[in-house]
């Protein structure tokens, strides 16, 4: 298949959806899949994943080489995490320098990354499941930009520094940004934009 025959998409994956198209597990037959959001061409695959309770930018393609490139450490992925409590400068520094998390039954030291406190509350669409109300204490937001992506890495990182993640939204993959996309929205992207 020639590269121009491939199709590429960016979507705002809503909360509660799996980053897949086919349900391989009968016990999870009630799960929401990406195929329910848009009529994607045959052979479309998610580039990387966002877990069921995470939201935000997800890139899709029909081209395996493009998928491999986007998933590589060459491409930054930025996340906004709403955390339990008012995150401290010390915790942000720990995130930047790398922390030890559990991965695949062993300990893993995350690579240094970019992180900063977000002063203005992001204007994301209302989530289908409420986070919690103010009676449970304050929350704050932090931006974390990685070039790696271990399973549930951002959630594990914020928990290790004492601020568990309540809501996680991926806002950027390389030059692609969530911006004002609505939850569940799908945009087809030109080949040149995708591979440039």
Domain 3-73+175-195 has CATH 3.30.70.580: yes
The model's pTM is 0.91
Query: Which one of 51, 63, 84, 133 is the catalytic residue?
Result: 51
Let me know: does 49 contact 33? Beta carbons within 8 Å: no
Token pair for 148: 């790696």
Written as tens digits, the pLDDT of the chain (196 aa) is 344 588 999 999 999 999 988 766 545 567 899 988 999 999 999 998 899 999 999 999 999 888 888 888 889 999 999 999 999 999 999 999 999 999 888 999 999 999 999 999 999 988 877 776 667 789 999 999 999 988 899 999 999 999 999 999 999 999 999 999 999 999 999 756 655 5
Fold of 77-173: Alpha-Beta Plaits (3.30.70)
5 is an active site residue: no
**In the chain, domain spans:** 3-73+175-195, 77-173
State in Å, rounded, how far the first CA of the chain is from the last one.
Answer: 19
Q: Do domains 3-73+175-195 and 77-173 have the same CATH topology?
A: yes
In 3D, which of 161, 78, 159, 155 has the Cα closest to residue 122? Answer: 78
């Amino acid at each position: 298949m020639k590269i121009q025959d491939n199709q590429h998409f960016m979507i705002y994956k809503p909360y509660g959806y799996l980053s897949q198209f086919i349900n391989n597990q009968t016990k999870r037959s009630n799960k929401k899949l990406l195929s329910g959001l848009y009529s994607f061409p045959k052979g479309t695959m998610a580039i990387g994943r966002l877990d069921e309770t995470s939201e935000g930018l997800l890139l899709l393609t029909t081209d395996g080489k493009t998928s491999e490139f986007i998933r590589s450490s060459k491409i930054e992925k930025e996340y906004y995490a709403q955390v339990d409590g008012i995150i401290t400068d010390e915790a942000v520094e720990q995130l930047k320098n790398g922390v030890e998390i559990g991965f695949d039954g062993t300990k893993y030291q995350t690579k240094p990354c970019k992180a900063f406190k977000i002063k203005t509350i992001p204007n994301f669409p209302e989530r289908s499941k409420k986070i919690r109300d103010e009676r449970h204490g304050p929350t704050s937001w932090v931006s974390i930009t990685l070039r790696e992506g271990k399973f549930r890495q951002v959630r594990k990182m914020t928990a290790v520094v004492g601020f568990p993640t309540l809501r996680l939204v991926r806002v950027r993959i390389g030059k692609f940004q969530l911006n004002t996309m609505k939850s569940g929205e799908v945009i087809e992207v030109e080949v040149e934009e995708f591979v440039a």
